[in-house]
A and B are shown apart, each in its own frame.
Chain A
Amino acid sequence: MASEVPQDTTVDLVLLSNFVHQVVNPLNGVAGTLDNIVEGVVKDEHRKEQRLRAARAQLEQCISLMRNLAYFAQGFQRLSDSEKREILVPEQIIRSAMFFQEDAALKNMTISLRENKVPNRVRGHLELLNQVYINIFDNCVKYSRIGSKVQVNQRIQKKTGDLLVSINSMMEKPLNRVELSRIFDLGYRGVNARQIVASGTGIGMYICKKIVEEVHGGSITCDIIDNTNIMFLIRLPGAYFKPYTEGEPL
């Protein structure tokens, strides 16, 4: 029996090649770190722990990249009600930011959520929305100024009932305003980003837009503030405030 090949199956070799590059780099870091520890190269116990934590962060980075690829391959459809679950917004933001603790520490950076104890909630897809925050924080940590703070705010807009999450970071190199409209395009990387890290996939922000807008019916935009900062604004419909219940993290 002849095997059937779907007509619309195409492979973007440039994208795939970029992915390989982006995944091999952190994996190389993990393998090198483990090899050093096995061979006794890293002797100091504190440093050893620090290196293992960094290796874990590198593996998380690989998982994020592979998830981006998987989501890209699957396509994006609007969520059905049965797929939605209640998401505690500050918990989700803090958990996503924690993936970047090690990388941020290396650059003496912090990620701070101001309304970290305001139990706003939204109904959506937990993993997909995690990926949105992870992709944005990844960008912020990679391309922000050493020693700077990534400021996150979350609130519910009274007029619309939408959840608004803003993520504001200070760029190491300024983004040209004319590039703003292309930030969410597939494969696009800002000139400033390429000046800091030469290679990249240019898929992270594209995935964010698809997840927020096509899957959740919200919106995501970005803007330049005072020529030095970039601010992402995520808007998700149907948010509500509900006090913490027993067992939920404060």
Chain B
Amino acid sequence: MTEEVVIIDDEPANIIWLSDFLEDSGFKVSIRTDVNTGIEEISPKKARFAIIDLNVPVFPPLSAQVSEKGELYQQYPGLFVAWTARNIGYRDRQIVIYTVHRDSRVADESKKIGCTYIMKGRPRMLKDEISHIISFDPTKED
């Protein structure tokens, strides 16, 4: 069965290259453009991994939960998707978050949550990271 990868990014036209790359690697790609639909996509079934842009919109009722998580989550709502994913059984190497700007607070939070944090801008870096993830099968390791 084809495994699914979920991409959450509010500007899908800019990440079609990533979708092409993942499809060529044998995955089915689902793109979602906000926190709410992103969580809907990853919650009922386990995707192989999720790639999450941190600057994505969030709507009620989840916006209240994002606000409760504090200022950093309000600034980067995609963090809430990563946090949710880690709390419903996704492992650290299955969650990749990215931003355009370097932010040490995000780096600290990603360590706390346990996920991979990379900067947007260098497609080769993201591809290398994905190759690293693909080499790991979460169903076969503890």
Contact = CB atoms under 8 A, between A and B. Distances in A.
Interface of A: 17, 20-21, 24-29, 31-33, 35-36, 41-42, 47, 51, 54, 58, 103, 106, 194-199
Contacts of B47: none
Interface stretch (B7-15, B38-46, B81-89, B107-115): B7-15
B20 A35 contact: no
B59 interface: yes
Contacts of B134: none
Secondary structure of the A contact surface, majority rule: helix
B21 A29 contact: no
Contacts of A106: 12-13
A36 B21 contact: yes
Q: Chain B interface residue count: which class?
A: 20 to 34
A24 B120 CA distance: 8
Contacts of A25: 11, 14, 100, 120
Given A21-B100, A41-B21, A35 B127 contact: yes
B11 A41 contact: no
17 contacts: A17-B101, A21-B55, A21-B100, A21-B101, A24-B100, A24-B120, A25-B11, A25-B14, A32-B18, A33-B17, A33-B20, A35-B17, A35-B123, A36-B21, A41-B24, A194-B57, A197-B10
Contacts of A26: 14
Interface in B45-92: 55-57, 59, 77
A28 B10 contact: no
Nearest to B78: A198
Contacts of A29: 13-17
A177 to B, nearest CB: 21
Interface of B: 10-18, 20-21, 24, 33-34, 55-57, 59, 77, 100-101, 120-124, 126-127
Contacts of A199: 55
Contact of A198 (B13, B16, B55, B122): B55
B124 A35 contact: yes
A242 B101 CA distance: 51
Nearest to A27: B121
A27 B122 CA distance: 9
Nearest to A193: B57
Contact of B57 (A21, A47, A103, A195): A195
Contact of A196 (B10, B15, B77): B10
Contacts of B57: 194-198
Contact of A32 (B21, B55, B59): B21
A198 B14 contact: no
Given A21-B55, A35-B123, A41-B21, A54 B10 contact: no
Nearest to B23: A41
A103 B77 CA distance: 25
A138 B83 CA distance: 34
B82 to A, nearest CB: 15
A220 to B, nearest CB: 26
Contacts of A32: 15, 17-18, 21, 123, 126
Contacts of A17: 101
